Amino acid sequence: MTAPSPFQIMHSMSADRSGVVGRRLNRDTRRRVFSFAAPYRRTIVGFVATIVAATFLGLLPPLLIRKVFDVAIADHNNTYLNTLFIVMVVAAVGEAGLSLVERWFSARIGEGLIYDLRARLFDHVQRMPLSFFTRTQTGTLISRLNNDVIGAQRAFTGTLGTVVGNIITLGGTLIAMLLLEWRLTLIAVVILPVFVLPARRVGRSLQDITREGMNVNASMNNTMTERFNVAGALLVKLFGRHDSEAADFSARAGRVRDIGVKSAMFSRVFLVSLTLVGSIGTALVYWLGARLAINSEITPGTLVALGLYTVRIYLPLTSLSNARIDVMTAFVSFERVFEVLDTPNPITDAPDAVELVDPSGAVHFDHVSFRYPDPAEGTPESLGGSESTASLIDVLSDIDLDIRPGQMVAVVGPSGAGKTTLASLLPRLYDVDDGAIILDGHDVRSVTQRSLRRAIGVVSQDPHLFHESVAANLRYARPDAGLDDLIEACRAARIHEVIDALPEGYDTIVGERGYRLSGGEKQRLAIARMLLKNPAIVVLDEATSHLDTESEAQVQEALATALAGRTSLVIAHRLSTITDADLIVVLDEGRIVESGTHEELRHQGGLYEDLYETLVRADHAPLT
């Protein structure tokens, strides 16, 4: 087992003691940790066995060197010297080989655990409801997937190997030294507190420096992330803030530099202290040992062997003095991973959920009421959860609405009336609090989410595109779609000519969030993606609200094709998307206050008429 480096020991001493030194792992946490390690039982046994073998093999050279001095040199025995040389070479080769085997075991365990934990975390987070993402910090989730997963992995490949190796190295070395000469062994051990006590003080100082460095680095990285995406870069340019941004970043980077210098000096102090104490301890052993050798109380070979062993006891002793902190720190990473895995998912398939097969698109909102989940409910504070601020006021109240197969229903109303919320309930982005949503005779909570969402296509006002090719974004709806399928869908969405004119056609990268395309082009590409999905029900959430007149006309042409023969729920802000609807529903403060066709609602002289007149006066501005 390779001895820990001074830097590793220094890092151990700088661990956040306030966070882990007083902690105790409960039985459930230990059980879960070992359950993740269970598939690697044999590999872990091989890992530990290799460490043990390498450690004992490392004890052999000083004993062989002792024989060189006391036997081969003293007796002028060249044959014996040659034998000792061969044994030392074989031992060195064996130790090197065991080191490689140990690293193989370590990599197998570590990378396997990283894969298992990341796969479980990613799958769990992906299945969480939309409300989880609205109240969770993305950076925190990414940190759990990266930093904490790696920290958990170190519990086995780093901490386990280091602790086992140090215990065996220390025990074996001390036994060998005591058998050789107990007085010099005590001298070598007694000097250790002279080093450990000051080193602990340096470690506490480095703890504060390290924490501050992590915070400043995180702040600097966050600044780069926000300024280097398209939206951030555009904002900086529009407000002419280049100089102030550069100055602010320079200040943050300067602080990182200063902390780096200070951290380097503290690390150097530790290294110098370790080297100094090791040198003093070794000098004491040789000084006192030489006096014993002069008096013929020990042999010169014994003295040399003790000197070599002395160097081997300082690092393990120092590292083991912090073993509990090392173990607790590593296992705390597991706890942080479990914290995410244990975050409950309120939207799951019922045990007896059935597949929704060939839906016709008949939808009934049966006296539906809904309020948004409490921000504090289910999400730990460390993931971005906060104290309850929920007013528990219904966003939607007693919504009763029938949508026949193939019918187009438009939903209008003032901002904040609950239009988008109503559309979000149909694909179970949220679950209703009261009432039920019935699709083809099935409560949507009684069918599998996969089949439900396969039946529903959504086009929002700002559709998301991945930083991939046009074809890859389209195939997100249907991975097995061929190029002809893509072209057919894009022709129907009135976007094929635009894609065909791009430098690499369907292989063109659209850029982050599709910024290489205009708003209208992104909308039509999203419509093409929805057409590839071929859903029975289409939800349009203000799909044309931010488009200019020309782009809106093109999108409307695409929508006419997309909605043909399908049930559609249209969240509308523009007149052109609602006048031809089979039914228009007017929401206000979460309730349906009017319903009918465009002409019927005009003649009622209610809220719809007010919205219509406002629209006309604003020259076809969005309804608000």
Tell me the CATH number at 24: 1.20.1560.10
Tokens of residue 259, six digits: 């902390």
Asked whether residue 441 falls in the same domain as residue 473, the answer is: no
Minimal CA–CA distance to 402: which of 434, 431, 361, 369?
A: 361
Q: How many CB atoms lie within 10 A of CB 391?
A: 10
Task: Give the Cα separation of 394 and 422 in Å (integer).
Answer: 12
For residue 1, being part of any structural domain is answered with no
Sign of CA dihedral 506, 507, 508, 509: positive
For residue 233, being part of any structural domain is answered with yes
Angle (CA) 65 69 70, round 5°: 110
Q: How many CB atoms lie within 10 A of CB 334?
A: 23
Q: Which of 497, 516, 533 is the last residue in one of the domains?
A: 533
* 521: CATH: 3.40.50.300
Q: How many CB atoms lie within 10 A of CB 602?
A: 15
Listed range (10-19, 30-39, 230-239, 600-609) with the worst mean pLDDT:
10-19
Mean pLDDT for the stretch of residues 339-359: 87
Mean pLDDT for the stretch of residues 173-202: 78
Amino acid symbol at 582: D
Asked whether residue 52 falls in the same domain as residue 98, the answer is: yes
Overall domain count for the chain: 3
Asked whether residue 164 falls in the same domain as residue 188, the answer is: yes
For residue 390, being part of any structural domain is answered with yes
Q: What is the dihedral of CA 153, 159, 165, 168, to 10 degrees?
A: -130
Asked whether residue 589 falls in the same domain as residue 507, the answer is: no
Amino acid symbol at 457: G
For residue 581, being part of any structural domain is answered with yes
pLDDT bucket at 552, cuts 50 / 70 / 90: low
Strand pairing class (408-412; 567-571): parallel
Asked whether residue 304 falls in the same domain as residue 413, the answer is: no
Provide the b/e sequence for 307-327 (b: ≥16 CB within 10 Å): bbbbbbbbbbbbbbbbeebbb
Task: Give the Cα separation of 255 and 542 in Å (integer).
Answer: 46
Cross-strand partners of 539:
458, 569
What residue spans of 191-241 are helical by DSSP H?
Answer: 192-228, 230-238
Asked whether residue 527 falls in the same domain as residue 603, the answer is: no
Higher pLDDT, 245 or 431: 431
What was the pLDDT predicted at 240?
73
Distance between first and last Cα of the chain: 70
Asked whether residue 543 falls in the same domain as residue 488, the answer is: no
What was the pLDDT predicted at 484?
92
For residue 20, being part of any structural domain is answered with yes
The distance from CA 586 to its chain's CA centroid, rounded to whole angstroms, is: 42
Asked whether residue 499 falls in the same domain as residue 445, the answer is: no
| Percent of the chain that is helix, strand, coil (3-state, to 5) | 65, 10, 25
Mean pLDDT for the stretch of residues 180-195: 80
382 pLDDT more than 60:
no
What was the pLDDT predicted at 229?
66
For residue 319, being part of any structural domain is answered with yes
pLDDT digits 0-9 by tens, 113-135: 888 888 888 888 888 887 777 77
Strand pairing class (363-370; 396-403): antiparallel
Arithmetic mean of pLDDT over the chain? 80
The one-character DSSP state at 282 is H
Task: Give the Cα separation of 566 and 564 in Å (integer).
Answer: 6
Asked whether residue 445 falls in the same domain as residue 470, the answer is: no
For residue 450, being part of any structural domain is answered with yes
Angle (CA) 142 144 146, round 5°: 70
pLDDT digits 0-9 by tens, 405-419: 989 999 988 888 888
Pair 355, 448: CB distance under 8 Å: yes
342 pLDDT more than 90:
no
Asked whether residue 210 falls in the same domain as residue 302, the answer is: yes
- Read off the pTM: 0.71
Q: Which of 341, 361, 383 is the last residue in one of the domains?
A: 341
Asked whether residue 124 falls in the same domain as residue 59, the answer is: yes
What was the pLDDT predicted at 592?
92
pLDDT digits 0-9 by tens, 434-488: 999 999 999 999 999 989 988 988 888 778 888 888 899 999 888 898 999 999 8
For residue 460, being part of any structural domain is answered with no
Pair 211, 20: CB distance under 8 Å: no
Q: Which of 341, 373, 403 is the last residue in one of the domains?
A: 341
What residue spans of 229-350 are helical by DSSP H?
Answer: 230-238, 242-294, 300-320, 323-341
What residue spans of 295-322 are helical by DSSP H?
Answer: 300-320
The distance from CA 22 to its chain's CA centroid, rounded to whole angstroms, is: 27
Residues 6+ apart with CB under 8 A from 134: none
Asked whether residue 563 falls in the same domain as residue 586, the answer is: yes
Instruction: Name the most confidently modeled range: 99-103, 231-235, 541-545.
Output: 99-103
pLDDT bucket at 331, cuts 50 / 70 / 90: confident
Q: Which domain holds residue 479?
A: 465-533
